[in-house]
Structure 1
């Protein structure tokens, strides 16, 4: 059995980049990939959180500070990963921000900055990583979208919803264009995830309201998001491309 055929879900021998991985969902994704044997580059705009998460993971993990909305930073980051680990097999585009601003109150600069971080970064990181994947004979690109990509944002973050919807179209097109190189492209669409950010900014009343609308009766755990990404990155999912996998406890169905 070759390295590219591991139906047991192992990621041994593979190299992954996870953006926005200093905390929350990104950190959980990085740890899930690492636990299955992948060497992981933990990329975050904050040096301390990137280094801290990588340190928690131990051997075969490095922390890299990079603003993934800037092409020069992305090029340097990808070059460092290739130099350190010898190639790239997995890219997880997870970096993103959100702010609940209604359209009538939104400044153009805010729209532009969110699009740079949430959407332009997906283009920059993917384009930069693809040559290394092609050289390895294949790879997997997984991008974090959201339930709001299809149902719209409930809290007024119209730019956030627009960016996450664009990721779905980007992913489908990428899957078509890169299939000839053995590179798969998929997206995940989480619902509400129990992160520090949610706990800090969601009132108890709102949390109860959201939870009551979820058939499974709770918010998602970050480890569950990590497990889904690890599946998509593995050869268990070698026939899955151009897909969006929902993970929302049934919130989508109401």
Structure 2
């Protein structure tokens, strides 16, 4: 129970990766605030976490929700920016409307939530921030579209900048970059042909499981990870080394 007494905030909590992260951090003893816009899906997580319905595409909703959360809990010790939306649209077919929608959820929400929790972390001289990026951040997106790939690259940049600024304050910031996790976002939005083609290209011969991502997050937010910051952990099954 290495996270007993810690409060963790996980976005996209009702998804495959998010649900696994919630379960892992709860098992480690943390009080978990599960953020998602899907109230019904949040209820299916059970009573081990506190469900918080919020629209991460709406900065006003984020602000009001965080004011309430901080008023009730005092501070957040662990932030996992996991929420994200996927688009397959490449350069020519990416509209500015779609671009802004992707950035709002995949990047802007992470910035706003980080800004909200950092003062409390600095006051306590302890905090953990983990951003869930993607292999797309450095591959340019094999099946993912332009907006998604760029949003994840920018999220890595936010990770680096946050780590650089807050290291001396006892706050670490790291990212996890998985490729092709077994989740509704991948299984429903990619065609069978795309999934089969990418599966054949992954040297380990399978897709990543959500629990594997959650295990990595659990390590990064643990007290024993304090010497790791500004790091991107690749989880791509051997698609790319280094």
Pairwise TM-score range, normalised by the shorter structure? over 0.9
Alpha-carbon offset, residue 102 of structure 1: 2.1
In 2, Cα distance between the equivalents of 1:151 and 1:107?
Answer: 21
Q: Name the structure 2 match of 1:252.
A: 240
TM-score norm. by structure 2 comes to 0.94
The one of 44, 54, 59 equivalent to 1:52 is: 44
Is the aligned partner of 1:24 residue 2:16?
yes
**Secondary structure of 1:88's partner?**
coil
Residues 43 and 145 (structure 1), Cα distance of their counterparts in 2 relative to 1, 3 Å cut: same
Instruction: Identify which range, 68-77 or 32-41, moves more after superposition.
Output: 68-77
Q: Tell me the alpha carbon deviations over residues 154-195 of structure 1, each in whole angstroms, 9 at most, x when there is no partner.
A: 225001000100111111111111112111000110011011
Gaps of 5+ in 2: none
How far apart are residue 217 of structure 1 and its match?
A: 1.0
Residues 88 and 136, structure 1, Cα contact 8 Å, conserved in 2: no
Q: CA RMSD in A?
A: 1.7
CA apart distance, 1:122: 1.0
- For residue 157 of structure 1, the aligned residue among 130, 142, 145 is 145
State the TM-score, normalizing by the size of structure 1.
0.89
1:147 CA displacement: 0.5
For structure 1, the 5+ residue unaligned runs are 1-8
1:186-201 matched pairs, under 5 angstroms: 186-201=174-189
CA contact (8 A) 2:22 2:32 kept: yes
Residue 118 in structure 1 maps to residue 106 in structure 2: yes
Query: CA separation in 1, counterparts of 2:114 and 2:217?
Result: 16
Q: Deviations over 1:103-127 (max 9, x none)?
A: 2122211111111111111111100
**Whole-angstrom CA distance in 2 between matches of 1:139 and 1:156:** 32
In structure 2, the partner of 1:37 is 29
The answer to whether the 8 Å contact 1:51/1:62 transfers is no
Q: 1:226 maps to what in 2? A: 214
* C-alpha distance in structure 2 between counterparts of 1:206 and 1:242, whole Å: 32
- The answer to whether the 8 Å contact 1:68/1:124 transfers is no
Tell me, in whole angstroms, the C-alpha distance in 2 between the residues paired with 1:203 and 1:68: 27
Q: How many residues align?
A: 242
1:18 to partner: Cα distance: 0.4
Runs of 4+ with >6 A deviation: none
Distance 1:70 1:87 in 2: 22
Give matches, 1:66-105, under 5 Å. 66-105=54-93
